[in-house]
Chain A
């Protein structure tokens, strides 16, 4: 036979399909040639005849090879599946044989994977899922910025909005809107169209709002022309949810007339279901008349715009920078240089979730560490188990199983474990997320969109598989490479292999202690930060105070009626049993939104380029300071005589005194808000109150007397909180307060009714949310680390039972043995702690933005956690040591 004979050796590694076909065909032709030669033909013509009878050799060879290739592929695939099925069956059997090990491993993995699934779901739903609008990346929020006072995102005034909108080469559409509190009183689905008065979340928007979002109404139409202008027919567009909840999705809502804030508005559109802009239910048009714009300093509009295709947020920002620089130069009186006037543009998504991103990323990092700890634990379990199985594997190798096959078998086992852990973890995550949503849905925007979807499920599967490799590979490599001889000869204990495995085990435990240090320190910092936040002195006493949120519809309440209504309501509330004082305020700590008014101080001239002081202004009734127990530091707060007095009065806070009056006494000084408004006399300085939130710095504030507002601004405030301090439980006052409001105006809806303690709790909902989660993860990390140390130490002690027995028999005291074992455990933990502290020093730096009132490297926290973990490590190694000491030495000696 011709052809290179070496090729046949290739078959040792696998069949060579092409060569086989060649050999087969060659055999046929040679046989035929031989036959013809035997019949007497000349070799040449014999070969020619054989070839003729055979036909097209090349074509036959090609088609044979093609068929063989397919056969071969199929066979390989079948073999592989067969082997896999076999491996999985074997793994399942092996795991079933040791249910204790399996249970602990699956639970550990479920904790690690479940935490990851839950947080990945949140990150996916909140941060990654696009907004439900077409080309959502082009939707941006636009703000006026006053960088001089550290306010990069402020509302816009009408002229400012028109300026920004004029950048038509940047914005395809630009819209302005403002929140509107609406009360629905007529047009409901009831027989006579009457409504139980109800507050509806509303938005008043220019007609570009929906085009900018890229949304068209599901039914009906968008705002058109100059709708919203005085004199045009009032119209309203409602949300899908409103349509469903109030009208059961009935198609004849279009064209119906709803009474909102006393105005009859025709429904012209219904939005598609996924538009949940600020969770508003009713959208009414506002018309900005370019010929009579409002004041430049009257900022109340929010901006939404759609960028032109191929315009980036950065480009838009540069264009706005140039525009606002020019504007500031044009109106130096409105925008003094020190104000740092500008504009800010950021993507809509960042505007919605930008604040929670750091918290979520920290949590994602924490669960990643927890998963690593879980992996280290399971790897250790596998190692310990591997020692027991050393003989089994050595036998399998001796009986001819190849190393790769054994390795694959072991990895299959860990993968089966990981997948089981993944399945259990998904259940855990599903359950955990229900708990998460129950903790507080308002703490994180878009949290209601979070669920375990395909993306998350796939990610979990990926995590589980990687996990299986992570914890399975090292032990498997270790176990598939036993020195065959020694393993068979030796007992199951001791030996070089055992020592190497122990070393790996110690490394894993030290590593997981280090990881646990990072997670637990992070959690402890957040807990302490939250503690600090809750212990901030808010500057007022929130206990025993009930707050009722009201908005009087301007259509039914003129200035005098509004003033009278609040005076009467306060009187009625004050008369309720248990109530010591009642009052009203346009804004309440700690959730004040704040509106800043420029003030002019009588007798003080501003230097060129100096901005007018712009304190936060709110109006309150005389009882406000008593109701919240805010003390006067100097002078006095408002009293009842001020109400009827012709002298207009104001009270400022400490920060205003310090920053605006800078050492001079403000008492008796006069201020005004506009040249055409009267002067007010400052009568006192009140204590600082954390109006904007417990973690926010106090800003300068000016209190006006609500009853004097008409005399000052020729307007009044219709949206007020009415508060009442009671001797007893504030929450139980709520029904009586509702009745008091209904008695005065049956058509008025109550927006909210809460105790002030609740309001404070709500204001810290997000830090609490982050703290709770990280706290849970910290606890999990701590438990896993403790289990890890306990596991490795009790295993080590078990291996050394005989040695300990000998030591004891030779007269070692129990204390010596305890010291020996515990010392070993502690040196392990000590190494982990040292590395962990260094890692934590680097990692907690990332948390700085989440912390309040505590440094990211707070020495007390670090020391405390090191002590805590040290104590846990001590107990975890002391328990097995004590067991060893208590063992009868004679038993211990025979234990081999």
Chain B
């Protein structure tokens, strides 16, 4: 198993938005989904998800509503907004450009161009 990677706050926001883009879910579901998709590589301290969710809500990128969970318990569901999807698109393209640039640097074999 690879050691856990430290996550920047902004990255966590994008991950949460991406997760919610699959459909409304409560915080625990978000945590589970991230855990599964990343095969536990990103060892997120689960608690840090919540300030991220609330922050996103404050910015209007997600909205929340109380509902009932699979096992009949009261849970807070988050849904991505139109604004949030726009933000996600912008952030993902930035991320792609960024990561491509970084991997280019890391994979270059010649010392000069």
* A residues adjacent to B (C-beta < 8 A): 1, 20-21, 23-25, 27-28, 30-32, 34, 53-57, 59-60, 63-64, 67-68, 70-71, 74
Contact = CB atoms under 8 A, between A and B. Distances in A.
B47 interface: yes
Nearest to A25: B50
A74 B46 CA distance: 28
Contact of A31 (B28, B51, B54, B55): B28
Given A55-B47, A57-B47, A67 B75 contact: no
Interface in B21-77: 26-28, 31, 45-48, 50-51, 54-55, 57-58, 69, 71, 73-76
A53 B51 contact: no
A249 to B, nearest CB: 60
A71 B69 contact: no
A27 B75 contact: yes
Given A27-B26, A28-B27, A71-B57, A64 B50 contact: yes
Contact of B51 (A54, A67, A70): A67
Contacts of A54: 45-47
A60 B51 contact: yes
A55 B46 contact: yes
Contacts of B28: 27-28, 31-32
Nearest to B51: A63
Interface of B: 26-28, 31, 45-48, 50-51, 54-55, 57-58, 69, 71, 73-76
Most buried by A among B27, B50, B74: B50
25 contacts: A20-B76, A23-B74, A24-B50, A27-B26, A27-B76, A28-B26, A28-B28, A28-B31, A28-B46, A30-B73, A31-B69, A31-B73, A32-B46, A34-B71, A53-B46, A54-B45, A55-B45, A59-B47, A60-B47, A60-B51, A64-B51, A67-B51, A67-B58, A71-B54, A71-B58
B35 to A, nearest CB: 10
Contacts of A60: 47-48, 50-51
B73 A27 contact: yes
Given A20-B76, A23-B74, A27-B69, A68 B54 contact: yes
A581 B24 CA distance: 110
Nearest to A65: B54
A55 B49 CA distance: 11
A36 to B, nearest CB: 13
Most buried by B among A34, A53, A57, A59: A53
Most buried by B among A23, A24, A63: A24
Contact of A1 (B48, B58, B73): B73
A792 B18 CA distance: 69
Contacts of A30: 73
B48 to A, nearest CB: 7
Contacts of B55: 67
A868 to B, nearest CB: 67
Contacts of B47: 25, 54-57, 59-60
Contacts of A67: 51, 54-55, 57-58
A494 to B, nearest CB: 50
Contacts of A25: 47, 50
A54 B51 CA distance: 12
A158 B108 CA distance: 104
B74 A64 contact: no
A70 B47 CA distance: 20
B48 A55 contact: yes
Contacts of A71: 54, 57-58
